[in-house]
């Protein structure tokens, strides 16, 4: 796709593939004999989750949540609204939240509190990307794909105004 808004490459397709395979193997080991439920956060995490789940070789299920964070286009406020809730209860289940990116951490902080209140047996996070410099709240992220610098990232599920989710790599949005 040729587009002047697609800037510097941050994570290449083969790096994504390799790391997703590693994460799948690690999760399969950690959750063997457990009751793994992947909770994908719509829409950005869908692409990562679909690839990750196919690298997990133990029984597992998937459910989705959609949340909107009030704030500007590039800064979330931490005030989160649930647009779509999980289809089923998570009580006593081993829940792994799958996120595309943790930026300030405010959205995830809300999700951890909200899902934690439903009494899962365990609750952990797997995020494809993280921008540590931007973090406003410290959160336990059990599995991380890649740390990236503070650039607005697009591709492999990440959007700018709903575009670019289909890129098979992660790039910076050109300024």
Q: Which residues here bind Mg ion, judged by CB under 5 A? A: 44, 100
- By CB under 6 A, residue 65 contacts ligand IMP: no
63: Cα within 13 Å, side-chain hemisphere: 16
Question: What is the CA 145 to chain-centroid distance, rounded?
Answer: 10
Site for ligand IMP (CB under 6 A): which residue of 11, 51, 76, 98?
A: 76
Question: Residues 103, 112, 120, 123: which binds ligand IMP (CB under 6 A)?
Answer: 103
**Residue 114 lies near ligand IMP (rule: CB under 6 A):** no
**Binding-site member from 69, 114, 122, 144 for ligand IMP (CB under 6 A):** 69
CA pseudo-torsion sign 29, 94, 77, 135: negative
- Asked if 130 interacts with ligand IMP (CB under 6 A), we say no
> Is residue 106 within the footprint of ligand IMP (CB under 6 A)?
yes
Residue 100 is a catalytic residue: no
Contacts of residue 152, Cβ cutoff 8 Å, sequence gap at least 6: 74, 160, 172, 173
């Amino acid at each position: 796709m040729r587009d002047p808004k697609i800037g510097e490459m941050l994570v290449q397709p083969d790096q994504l593939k390799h790391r997703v395979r590693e994460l799948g193997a690690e999760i399969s080991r950690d959750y063997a004999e457990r009751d793994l439920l992947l909770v994908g956060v719509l829409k950005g995490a869908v692409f990562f989750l679909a690839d990750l789940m196919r690298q997990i070789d133990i029984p597992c299920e998937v459910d989705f949540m959609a949340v909107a964070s009030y704030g500007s286009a590039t800064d979330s406020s931490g005030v989160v609204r649930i647009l779509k809730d999980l289809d089923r209860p998570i009580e006593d289940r081993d829940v792994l939240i799958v996120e595309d990116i943790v930026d300030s951490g405010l959205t995830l902080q809300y999700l951890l509190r909200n899902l934690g209140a439903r009494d899962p047996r365990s609750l952990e996070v797997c995020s494809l990307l993280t921008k540590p410099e931007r973090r406003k709240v410290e959160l336990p992220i059990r599995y991380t794909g890649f740390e990236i610098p503070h650039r607005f990232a697009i591709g492999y599920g990440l959007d700018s105004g709903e575009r670019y989710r289909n890129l098979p790599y992660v790039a910076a949005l050109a300024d």
